[in-house]
Amino acid sequence: MNILLIAGGWSGEREVSLSGARQIDKGLLALGHDVTHFDPARDLRELYEATTDQDFAFINLHGSPGEDGLIQCLLERIGMPYQGSDSRASLLALNKAVSKQLFEAAGLCTPDWEFVPACHVAKWRPLLPFPLVVKPNTGGSSLGVGIVTTEAELEAYLLQSEIAGQDLLAETLIQGQELTCGVLEGETLPPILILPKSGVFFDYESKYVAGATEEICPAPIPVELTEKLQAMARAAHDALGLCDYSRSDFMLATDGTAYLLEVNTLPGMTATSLLPQEAQAVGLSFEQLLARLVELGLRKKR
């Protein structure tokens, strides 16, 4: 098939997107497809025309555009099949404050939270007690995430240029272990235990610098906890109306409570990214995972 690989974009996660696209390109070529690259940041106005003579679009964008449903919406209007969730579900999942309301309605445990519109950030003082995790409401890859324990630390965080003009979400800080669990079609994948070797959480450097984090898959946790995380990942996937695949992130508190943080609709797709590791644990190579995602996208079109 002729596949349009859409990657890059203009979010802070641009380089992560392009890195994953290089791996996806190799995998799709190995599967016998012809691949054409398109970067919305280069010339968004050419996207409609770029779909001409293409059979399928493979989206590897992170943040906005991509995870906000914008690209999906255009592809839907064109009638071009693509992998992953539709535009409406993507928009819901990217907005942390909205998705948390759906988690709570589904009975899923998530940290206490507070939404802060950009217009109120300058005068905002949290209602929740310290310590807090504060982050952009629609960001990803841990960009702009800060842990604040005092008023002074909060003031310093709010002065950072990378969060200027953004809506924020504040959450109660959960102390414990970080885990993630993917969903692929009707199957829930084995969780991964994430152990950053430095820093206090799974930040941007821990995610993308080689050797900065130990990722153990399957996670060495009790069977009952594995099943609980899988059930929560599946329930979050369904609550947001997602399809094909997703990856849910969790904090396991020291008292054993599992807290759902957020759900990723376009998980990282390098060969060593978290969801491909989980797929590998159930016998799917990176190329086989790509083939499955393409088939799922075509199935929705049919």
Among candidate residues 247, 248, 259, 273, the one labeled active-site is: 247
Among candidate residues 268, 273, 278, 292, the one labeled active-site is: 268
Among candidate residues 25, 39, 249, 278, the one labeled active-site is: 249
Contact (Cβ atoms closer than 8 angstroms) between residue 258 and residue 225: yes
Count, in order, helices (H) and strands (E) of the chain. 11, 13
Helix pair angle (70-78, 87-94), 10° resolution: 180
Tokens representing 154 are 């909060």
- Reply yes or no on whether 247 is catalytic: yes
Q: Is 268 helix (H, G, I), strand (E, B) or coil?
A: coil
- Reply yes or no on whether 99 is catalytic: no
Among candidate residues 11, 99, 141, 142, the one labeled active-site is: 141
Among candidate residues 82, 157, 204, 208, the one labeled active-site is: 208
Among candidate residues 9, 13, 171, 182, the one labeled active-site is: 13
The upper half-sphere exposure of residue 280, i.e. CA atoms within 13 Å in the direction of its Cβ, equals 16
Q: For residues 298 and 82, what is the distance between their CA atoms, to the nearest angstrom?
A: 7
Q: Residue 6: which H helix or E strand, with range? A: strand 2-7
- Reply yes or no on whether 141 is catalytic: yes
C-alpha dist (Å) from residue 76 to 40, 45, 51, 196, 274: 17, 17, 12, 39, 28
- Reply yes or no on whether 107 is catalytic: no
Residue 29's contacts (CB-CB under 8 Å, 6 or more residues apart) are: 35
Among candidate residues 262, 278, 292, 297, the one labeled active-site is: 262
Q: Is 217 helix (H, G, I), strand (E, B) or coil?
A: coil
DSSP 8-state class, residue 82: B
- Reply yes or no on whether 13 is catalytic: yes
- Reply yes or no on whether 249 is catalytic: yes
- Reply yes or no on whether 139 is catalytic: no
Among candidate residues 11, 142, 246, 264, the one labeled active-site is: 264
Q: Which residues are catalytic?
A: 13, 141, 208, 247, 249, 262, 264, 268
